[in-house]
C-alpha cells in the first residue's frame, strides 16, 4: 500500500526536509521543524502523489487517500483533544497548498475550516471572545466561498465595506461582534445566490472541498504562467497540508507575521520582517493593512520576539541558508507556520553566500552552490547616473524592495503592461498592490511600484525573485486605476508618462532619469578602483572560489579590443572566437570590402591563370613561349583591372586587420586568442537588392542624364548582388568555402594575424595566436586552408621569431563532427560552433525558426529553445562523437565551444561532462560561465 498521508505533531513527524518531492516545500518544512522541537501546530500532509493521481484519473482519488486521511484526522483529534465540527469545542484547521518549489500566492489556502453555525458558538463560549469567533467564521466563509465555490472576492468585499460604512469603521478590526454577525449573514446570502446552495455546514464536506480545490489550484492559469516563467515542470503536483489552527486575531496579545533571517534585497545580516497585531495570516502579505517592522515586536511582545529570533537563527544554521518564515502568536505563545530558503536578489545572493562562508556556516563549495549563476547578471544592470540623478527631484519615497534602476512609461494594469510591451515600449507597472494574477504584467515591466504593502508583500517578493527593481508601499501615490492616472506630490501622472524608480533607495522620480554602468562594470572597465566597491569585492571573491574549483577554462567571444578588455576584466583567460568579419563593417573599411567582393571572382581567376601561365613559361621555348606571353597579355587585358582591384583592396584591408588583432593580443596578456577566418556569405556586406533597385529608380526619375555615373555604379553593384544571390545562404558560399575559392583572402588574414603577433611580441608581450578555419565538413578543406596559413606564417615570422601558433577548426557541420577523427589529423584544436551545429544538426534555420519554435515551446514539443540551451540528447550527441573521434586520434586535442551556448549554465554542465577544455561566451556572460563551470564540477566531478 502506498503512503499518501504523512503526520506531524507531538514532537515527531513522518517526513523531513529531504522530502520536498512528496510533501512539497511547506510540508517538508513543517515536518523538519516538528522533528527539531520547534513549536509547530500539528497536522498532516497529503502528498503530491495524491495530486498526480487526482489528475491522472480525472478528479478522483484512490480509496487509500480517504482512509489514510481519516486515520490521520483521528490521530490529530486525539492529540488535540478536540473534534472537527464539535459544537462545544471544535478542532479548526487550515488547508494549505504547497509544491516542491514555492510559488508565492499562486495557489490557495483556506483558514478556520471546521467553522459552522454551531461550532462558532462553541468557540465563542470556550474562548469567551465573541468578536474573535465571529471574525474567524466570516473569514472562513469568505475564503471557502472564493477558493472552493469560485465566488468572486469582490462580492464579499462589497458586503464587508457596506458594514464598515454602516458602523463607521475604518478597518475591519474596529468591527464588533454584532457587526460581524451581520457580515456573516450577508456572506451566507452571497453564497446562496451564487451557488443556489446554503453554505456547507458539514466539516467533512468542507475538508474534501478544500482539499480538491487545492489540487485544482495547481492548474489555475496564474500558477501555470508562474511555472512557465520559472521553468518549473507542470507534473510535480502540489501537496495539501491540513494543520491545526492557531490564532493571531485573538486580541492585542496575538499577532501574525513573516520575516527573513537576513535582508533578501541587499543580503545585509539583519533580522527582517513585518507583523500585524490582532490579525490572521494573509493580512500581512495581502498588502491591505500596512504592517509594522518586526523590530517593533520586541516592544509589544518581548518574550515571543526573543523566542522567534532564537528559533529562526537556529533554523538558518540548520538549513545553512537564509530562512523566510511565517509565524503566529496566539495570546503570547509563539507558533512557527512555515520556513523555507528565502528567495533573494542577485546582490543579496552574493552577499549572503560570501558572508555565511566567512561566518563559518558554509564551506566555500557550499557557498558556490547557493548562487544561481544567472543571478550574477543583475549586478551588471545599469544604475541611475549619479550626476543626472541629482538634478531630478524625488517626488515620493516607498520601501526599497528590490534594487536597481528602472525607467518606463507608466501603466496601471498588468494587461496594459503586456499590451504596451508587445508594441516595444518600456513600461513601469504601477499598482495599488500587486496580486498573483499580475505576474505576466510584472514580468514584462522594467520595474514595479506599489502604493501599499510591505517588504514581504507580493510585489516585493515577486519583484526580487524576478530581479526587477521594485518600490512598494509608497503611500504618497494617489492612484486612480480606472482613470489611468495618479497624483503624486501635487502632480498628475497619466498613463504613458515617464517615471523612474530606484529600487535601492525607494525613491520615485517623475521623469526618465538617464542610467550609467553598474559598479561592477565600472570596475571592470577600469573606471572605478576595486577597493572603492564593496559589491565588486564580494563578486570577485565568490568567483575566485569558483576558479579554484572549476575544470573548464573560460574564454570570451570578442572581436574588438574594447570587448576583450571587458572580458579579461571579468576573468576570461583567452578569446575563443574573434569574428574577423565584424571588423569589415567599419565605415573606413566597407568600401574596400565591397571592392574586394566585386572583383574577387574575376580577380582570383586572373591571378590563378597568370600564375599557371607563368609556370608554363619557365619550361617553354620559342614559338610556344610567344604564345604563352600572348595569353598572359590577353588575361591581363581581360582581367587585369579585376586583379588590381582585388589585390589592392586586400592590401588596404591587411594593415587594418593587423591593428585589430594587435589590440586583441595586447588585451589578452598572453592568453590564447582564436581568430576565425572569414565566415559569412559575401552578400551580407553588400546593400540589399530591393534597396538598390529603389535607389536606382529614384535616381532615374529625378534625372537619368545628370545621375548617369551614380546610376552606373549602382547598377554594377546590383549585378554583383544578383550574382551573389543564393537560395540557401547558410548552406552556401560561406565559411572555409570562401577561403578555398578565394585563397588570397585567407592569406591576407593569416598575414595580418602573424604580423600583429610579431609586432606585439616584439614589445615583450607574450602572444598565442590560434587560427581557426570555419565550417569544415571535410578534412581536405582544412588541409588546404592550413597550408595557406602555414605559408603565410613562414613568410611573416621567418625563423626564430619565438611566436608560436596553432591552426585548428570549428566543428559545426554535422559531417565535420562525424568525421572528426579524419579532421583531427590536420587540426591542432577543435572549437564547436554549436549555433551552426544546432542549425544544421536539427535542420532548424535560425533566421526562420521564430515562426514555429515558439509553438513548439508553448505546446511542449520542446522543453527548451535549442539555440539557448544545447539540445543535449540530439545535437549534444554530435558534440560527444566529435570529442571522442577527435581524441581517438589526438588524446590531448584541445577542444572548446564558441557558440552562444558557451554562456548558458545548462549547456555548460553538458560541456563539462563531455570533457571539453573550455567554453567561450560573450564578455558579459563570463561571470555566469565561471560560476556555472564551478557548480558543474561540484555536482559532477570530472578529472582531467
CB of 245 to ligand ADP, least distance (A): 4
Query: To the nearest whole angstrom, how small is the minimum distance from the Cβ of residue 109 to ligand ADP?
Result: 4
The one of ligand ADP, Mg ion, none whose footprint includes residue 243, by CB under 5 to 8 A per kind, is ligand ADP
Q: Which does 136 bind (CB under 5 to 8 A by kind): Mg ion, ligand ADP, none?
A: none
Under the binding rule (CB under 6 A), the answer on residue 243 touching ligand ADP is: yes
Nearer to Mg ion, 216 or 324 (CB): 324
Q: Name which of ligand ADP, Mg ion, none residue 833 binds, using a CB cut-off of 5 to 8 Å depending on partner kind.
A: Mg ion
If contact means CB under 5 to 8 A according to the sort of partner, which of Mg ion, ligand ADP, none does residue 812 touch? Answer: Mg ion
- Supply the minimum distance, in Å, between the C-beta of residue 118 and ligand ADP: 21
HSE-CB for 142 with a 13 A CA cutoff: 20
- Catalytic residues, which ones? 458, 898
Query: Binders of ligand ADP: how many residues, by CB under 6 A?
Result: 16
Sign of the torsion formed by the C-alpha atoms of 40, 41, 43 and 44: negative
The span of 199-207, 238-246, 756-764, 798-806 binding ligand ADP (CB under 6 A) equals 238-246
- Identify the burial level of 507 via C-beta atoms within 10 angstroms of its C-beta, where 0-12 means exposed, 13-18 middle and 19 or more buried: buried
- Options 243-251, 286-294, 769-777, 823-831: segment touching ligand ADP (CB under 6 A): 243-251
123 near ligand ADP, rule: CB under 6 A: no
Residue recorded with cell 565559411? 735
Interatomic CA distance for residues 940 and 138, integer angstroms: 54
| Residue 447 touches which of ligand ADP, Mg ion, none (Cβ within 5-8 Å per kind) | none
Listed residue (359, 252, 276, 281) closest to 316, CA to CA: 359
Rounded to whole angstroms, what are the CA distances from 878 to 679, 814, 872, 874, 882?
21, 7, 9, 7, 6
Please give the helix or strand (H or E) that residue 446 lies within, else none. none
Q: Which residue minimizes CB distance to ligand ADP? A: 281
Q: CA-CA distance, 467 to 405, in Å (whole number)?
A: 11
CB 97 → ligand ADP: shortest distance, Å? 6
Q: Which does 907 bind (CB under 5 to 8 A by kind): Mg ion, ligand ADP, none?
A: none
Q: Which is nearer to ligand ADP, 243 or 452 (CB)?
A: 243
Q: What is the DSSP string of 159-183?
A: HHHHHHHHTT-SSGGG--HHHHHHH
Q: How far is the CB of 574 from Mg ion (least distance, A)?
A: 19
User: How far, rounded to the nearest angstrom, does the alpha carbon of residue 508 sit from its chain's CA centroid?
Assistant: 26
Choose the binding region for ligand ADP from 170-178, 237-245, 292-300, 766-774 (rule: CB under 6 A).
Answer: 237-245
d(CA 91, CA 85): 7
* Percent helix / strand / coil, the chain, rounded to 5: 50, 15, 30
Q: Which of residues 95-114 bind ligand ADP (CB under 6 A)?
A: 96, 105, 109, 111
In the complex, the smallest distance separating the C-beta of residue 337 from ligand ADP, rounded to whole angstroms, is 4
In the shown chain, the binding pattern of residues 310 to 339 toward ligand ADP, with x for contact by CB under 6 A and - for none, equals ----------------x-x--------xx-
Residue 282: name its binding partner from Mg ion, ligand ADP, none (Cβ under 5 to 8 Å by kind). ligand ADP
CB of 243 to ligand ADP, least distance (A): 4
Phi, psi of 236 (to 5 degrees): -75, -35
- Angstrom distance (rounded) from CA 100 to CA 90: 31
Closer residue to ligand ADP in complex, CB, 291/833: 291
H or E element in which residue 241 lies: strand 238-244
Closest CA to 793 of 753, 765, 827: 753
Residues 820-839 close enough to bind Mg ion by CB under 5 A: 833, 836
Q: Edge-to-edge strand order for the sheet containing 12-13?
A: 12-13, 5-9, 43-46, 238-244, 93-99, 109-113
Identity of the residue, 243 or 470, whose beta carbon is nearer to ligand ADP in the bound complex: 243
CB closer to ligand ADP, 76 vs 558: 76
Question: What minimum distance in Å lies between the beta carbon of 207 and ligand ADP?
Answer: 14
Side-chain-side CA neighbours of residue 647 (13 Å)? 11
Contact 50, 4 (CB under 8 A): yes
Strand partners, 383: 516
Is 41 a binding residue for ligand ADP by CB under 6 A? The answer is yes
Using the rule CB under 6 A, which residue among 38, 73, 190, 246 binds ligand ADP?
246
The smaller minimum CB distance to ligand ADP, of residues 285 and 797, is found at 285
Considering CB distances under 5 to 8 angstroms, the limit depending on partner class, which of ligand ADP, Mg ion, none binds residue 836? Answer: Mg ion
Q: Which of 108, 324, 812, 822 binds Mg ion (CB under 5 A)?
A: 812
Burial class (CB in 10 A: 0-12, 13-18, 19+), 55: middle
Per-residue contact flags (x/-) with Mg ion for residues 312 to 351, judged by CB under 5 A:
--------------------------x-------------
Q: Is the dihedral of CA 129, 131, 137, 139 positive or negative?
A: negative
Pick the binder of ligand ADP from 245, 509, 556, 650 (CB under 6 A).
245
Classify 592 in phi/psi space as left (phi over 0), alpha (psi -120 to 50) or beta: alpha
Minimum CB distance to ligand ADP smaller for 8 or for 918: 8
Instruction: List strands edge to edge, sheet with 427-431.
Output: 396-397, 507-509, 498-502, 405-411, 427-431, 447-450, 470-472, 399-402
Binding partner of residue 328 among ligand ADP, Mg ion, none, CB under 5 to 8 Å per kind?
ligand ADP
Instruction: Give CA–CA dist 399/448, Å, rounded.
Output: 12
Residues 6+ apart with CB under 8 A from 165: none
> Which positions lie near Mg ion, rule CB under 5 A?
338, 812, 833, 836
> Which positions lie near ligand ADP, rule CB under 6 A?
41, 94, 96, 105, 109, 111, 243-246, 281-282, 326, 328, 337-338
Amino acid at each position: 500500500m502506498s503512503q499518501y498521508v504523512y503526520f506531524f505533531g507531538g514532537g515527531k513527524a513522518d517526513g523531513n526536509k529531504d522530502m520536498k518531492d512528496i510533501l512539497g516545500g511547506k510540508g517538508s518544512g513543517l515536518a523538519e521543524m516538528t522533528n527539531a522541537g520547534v513549536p509547530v501546530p500539528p497536522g498532516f500532509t497529503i502528498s503530491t502523489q495524491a495530486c498526480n493521481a487526482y489528475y491522472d484519473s480525472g478528479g478522483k482519488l484512490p480509496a487509500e487517500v480517504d482512509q489514510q486521511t481519516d486515520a490521520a484526522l483521528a490521530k490529530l483529534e486525539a492529540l488535540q483533544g478536540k473534534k472537527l465540527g464539535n459544537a462545544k469545542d471544535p478542532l479548526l484547521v487550515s488547508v494549505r497548498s504547497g509544491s516542491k518549489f514555492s510559488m508565492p500566492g499562486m495557489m490557495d489556502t483556506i483558514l478556520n475550516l471546521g467553522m459552522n453555525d454551531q461550532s462558532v458558538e462553541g468557540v465563542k463560549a470556550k474562548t469567551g471572545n465573541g468578536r474573535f469567533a465571529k471574525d474567524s467564521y466570516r473569514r472562513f466563509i469568505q475564503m471557502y466561498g472564493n477558493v472552493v465555490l469560485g465566488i468572486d472576492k469582490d462580492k464579499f468585499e462589497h458586503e464587508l465595506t457596506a458594514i464598515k460604512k454602516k458602523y463607521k469603521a475604518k478597518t475591519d478590526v474596529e468591527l464588533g461582534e454584532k457587526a460581524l454577525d451581520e457580515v456573516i449573514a450577508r456572506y451566507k446570502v452571497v453564497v446562496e445566490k451564487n451557488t443556489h446552495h446554503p453554505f456547507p455546514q458539514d466539516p467533512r464536506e468542507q475538508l474534501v472541498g478544500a482539499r480538491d480545490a487545492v489540487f485544482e489550484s495547481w492548474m489555475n492559469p496564474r500558477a501555470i504562467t508562474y511555472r512557465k516563467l520559472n521553468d518549473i515542470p507542470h507534473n510535480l503536483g502540489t501537496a495539501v497540508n491540513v494543520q491545526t489552527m492557531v490564532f493571531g486575531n485573538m486580541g492585542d496579545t496575538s499577532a501574525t507575521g513573516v520575516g527573513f533571517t537576513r535582508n533578501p534585497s541587499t543580503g545585509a545580516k539583519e533580522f527582517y520582517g513585518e507583523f500585524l497585531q490582532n490579525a490572521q495570516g494573509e493580512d500581512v502579505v495581502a498588502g491591505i493593512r500596512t504592517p509594522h517592522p518586526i523590530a517593533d515586536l520586541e516592544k509589544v511582545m518581548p518574550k515571543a520576539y526573543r523566542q522567534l529570533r532564537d528559533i529562526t537563527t537556529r533554523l538558518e544554521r540548520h538549513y545553512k541558508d537564509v530562512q523566510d518564515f511565517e509565524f503566529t502568536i496566539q495570546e503570547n505563545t509563539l507558533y512557527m507556520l512555515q520556513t523555507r530558503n528565502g528567495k533573494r536578489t542577485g546582490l543579496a545572493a552574493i552577499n549572503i553566500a560570501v558572508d555565511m562562508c566567512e561566518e563559518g556556516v558554509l564551506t566555500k563549495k557550499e557557498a558556490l552552490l547557493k548562487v544561481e549563476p544567472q543571478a550574477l547578471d543583475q549586478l551588471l544592470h545599469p544604475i541611475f547616473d549619479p550626476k543626472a540623478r541629482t538634478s531630478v527631484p524625488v517626488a515620493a519615497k516607498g520601501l526599497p524592495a528590490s534594487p536597481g534602476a528602472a525607467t518606463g512609461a507608466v501603466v496601471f494594469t498588468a494587461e496594459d503592461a503586456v499590451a504596451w510591451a508587445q508594441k516595444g515600449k518600456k513600461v513601469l507597472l504601477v499598482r495599488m498592490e500587486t496580486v498573483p494574477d499580475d505576474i505576466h504584467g510584472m514580468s514584462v515591466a522594467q520595474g514595479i511600484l506599489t502604493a501599499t504593502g510591505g517588504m514581504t508583500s507580493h510585489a516585493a517578493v515577486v519583484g526580487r525573485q524576478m530581479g526587477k527593481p521594485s518600490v512598494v508601499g509608497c503611500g504618497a501615490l494617489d492612484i486612480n486605476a480606472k482613470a489611468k492616472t495618479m497624483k503624486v506630490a501635487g502632480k498628475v501622472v497619466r498613463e504613458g508618462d515617464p517615471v523612474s524608480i530606484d529600487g535601492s533607495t525607494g525613491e520615485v522620480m517623475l521623469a526618465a532619469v538617464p542610467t550609467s554602468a553598474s559598479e561592477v562594470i565600472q570596475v571592470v572597465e577600469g573606471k572605478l578602483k576595486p577597493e572603492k566597491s564593496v559589491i565588486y569585492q564580494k563578486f570577485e571573491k565568490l568567483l575566485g572560489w569558483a576558479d579554484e574549483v572549476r575544470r573548464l577554462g573560460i574564454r570570451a567571444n570578442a572581436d574588438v579590443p574594447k570587448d576583450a578588455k571587458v572580458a579579461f576584466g571579468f576573468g576570461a583567460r583567452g578569446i575563443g572566437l574573434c569574428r574577423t568579419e565584424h571588423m569589415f563593417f567599419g565605415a573606413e573599411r566597407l568600401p574596400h570590402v565591397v571592392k574586394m567582393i566585386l572583383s574577387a571572382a574575376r580577380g582570383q581567376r586572373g591571378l590563378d591563370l597568370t600564375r599557371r601561365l607563368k609556370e608554363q613559361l619557365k619550361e617553354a621555348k620559342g614559338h610556344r613561349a610567344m604564345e604563352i606571353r600572348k595569353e598572359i597579355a590577353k588575361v591581363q587585358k581581360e582581367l587585369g583591372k579585376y586583379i588590381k582591384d582585388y589585390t589592392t583592396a586586400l592590401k588596404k584591408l591587411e594593415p587594418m586587420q593587423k591593428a585589430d588583432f594587435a589590440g586583441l593580443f595586447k588585451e589578452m596578456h598572453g592568453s590564447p586568442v582564436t581568430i576565425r577566418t572569414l565566415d559569412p556569405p559575401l552578400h551580407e556586406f553588400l546593400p540589399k537588392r530591393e534597396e538598390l533597385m529603389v535607389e536606382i529608380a529614384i535616381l532615374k526619375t529625378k534625372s537619368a542624364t545628370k545621375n548617369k555615373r551614380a546610376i552606373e555604379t549602382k547598377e554594377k553593384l546590383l549585378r554583383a548582388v544578383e550574382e551573389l544571390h543564393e537560395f540557401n545562404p547558410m548552406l552556401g558560399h560561406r565559411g572555409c568555402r570562401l577561403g578555398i575559392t578565394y585563397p588570397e583572402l585567407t592569406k591576407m588574414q593569416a598575414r595580418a594575424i602573424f604580423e600583429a603577433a610579431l609586432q606585439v611580441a616584439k614589445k615583450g608581450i607574450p602572444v598565442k595566436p590560434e587560427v581557426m578555419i570555419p565550417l569544415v565538413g571535410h578534412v581536405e578543406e582544412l588541409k588546404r586552408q592550413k597550408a595557406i596559413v602555414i605559408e603565410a606564417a613562414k613568410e611573416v615570422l621567418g625563423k626564430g621569431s619565438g611566436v608560436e601558433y596553432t591552426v585548428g577548426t570549428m566543428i559545426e557541420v554535422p559531417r565535420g563532427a562525424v568525421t572528426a577523427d579524419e579532421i583531427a589529423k590536420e587540426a591542432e584544436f577543435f572549437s564547436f560552433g554549436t549555433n551552426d551545429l544546432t542549425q544544421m544538426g536539427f535542420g532548424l534555420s535560425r533566421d526562420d525558426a521564430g515562426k514555429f519554435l515558439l509553438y513548439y515551446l508553448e505546446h511542449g514539443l520542446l522543453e527548451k529553445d535549442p539555440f539557448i540551451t544545447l539540445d543535449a540528447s540530439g545535437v549534444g550527441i554530435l558534440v560527444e562523437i566529435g570529442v571522442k573521434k577527435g581524441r581517438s586520434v589526438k588524446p590531448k586535442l584541445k577542444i572548446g565551444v564558441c557558440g552562444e551556448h558557451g554562456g548558458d549554465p545548462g549547456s555548460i554542465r553538458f560541456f563539462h561532462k563531455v570533457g571539453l577544455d573550455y567554453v567561450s561566451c560573450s564578455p558579459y556572460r563570463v561571470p555566469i560561465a565561471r560560476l556555472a563551470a564551478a557548480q558543474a564540477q561540484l555536482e559532477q566531478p570530472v578529472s582531467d
